[in-house]
Amino acid sequence: MITTWNKTLDVRLLFSGIFSAIVMPFIVESYKLLETQSSSQPSPSFFGRDGYKVRVNAMWFSSLIFSLVAAMLSIHCKQWLDGYGVDLVFAGAASGCPESLAKACRLRQYRYQGLHVYGIPSLIDMLPVLLYTALVLFAIGLIDFLWHLNEVIAIYISCLCGIVVVAHVGSTLVPCFTTASPFKTPLSNLLGNMSRKVRGAEPLEKEEMNDVRNRKDCLDEIGYKWLMEHTRSEEVYLEAYNAHKEYLHLRELSKAKSVPG
Residue range 73-110, pLDDT digits in tens: 999 999 988 887 777 666 666 666 667 778 878 888 88
107-143 per-position pLDDT tens digit: 888 888 998 999 898 899 888 889 999 999 999 999 9
Which pLDDT value is given to residue 38? 44
pLDDT above 50: residue 37: no
Predicted confidence (pLDDT) per residue in 62-75, tens digit: 999 999 999 999 99
Question: How many Å apart are CA 104 and CA 87, to the nearest integer?
Answer: 9
Residue type, 108: R
* Burial category of 47 from C-beta neighbours within 10 Å (exposed 0-12, middle 13-18, buried 19 and up): exposed
Q: For the chain, what is the mean pLDDT? A: 85
Half-sphere exposure of 18 (CA within 13 A, CB side): 7
Identify the pLDDT of residue 203.
85
Tell me the per-residue pLDDT of 1-34, one tens digit each, with 9 for 90 and over.
Answer: 888 889 999 999 999 999 999 999 999 888 887 7
Q: Does residue 233 surpass a pLDDT of 70?
A: yes
Of the two residues 62 and 218, the one the predictor is more confident about is 62
Mean pLDDT, rounded, for 145-152: 89
Q: Which residues contact 204 (CB under 8 A, 6 or more apart)?
A: 175, 179, 189, 192, 193, 196
Q: Which residue has the higher pLDDT, 100 or 193?
A: 193
pLDDT at 35: 72
**2 closest CA partner among 121, 138, 139, 159:** 121
pLDDT in the model for residue 92: 63
Non-local (6+) Cβ contacts of 227 within 8 A are 236, 237, 240
pLDDT at 55 over 50: yes
What average pLDDT does range 38-46 have in this prediction? 61
DSSP state of 32: G
Q: Name residue 91's amino acid.
A: A
Q: Which helix or strand (DSSP H or E) is residue 7 part of?
A: helix 2-30
Give the Cα separation of 138 and 15 in Å (integer).
14
Helix (H) or strand (E) run with residue 53 in it? helix 51-82
Give every CB contact of residue 68 below 8 A, 6+ residues apart in sequence: 16, 20
pLDDT of residue 154: 92
Q: Among 94-98, 192-196, 223-227, 244-248, which stretch is predicted with the lowest mean pLDDT?
A: 94-98
Whether the CB-CB separation of 171 and 191 falls below 8 Å is answered with: no
pLDDT in tens, 152-186: 999 999 999 999 999 988 988 888 888 888 888 87
pTM score > 0.85 for this model? no
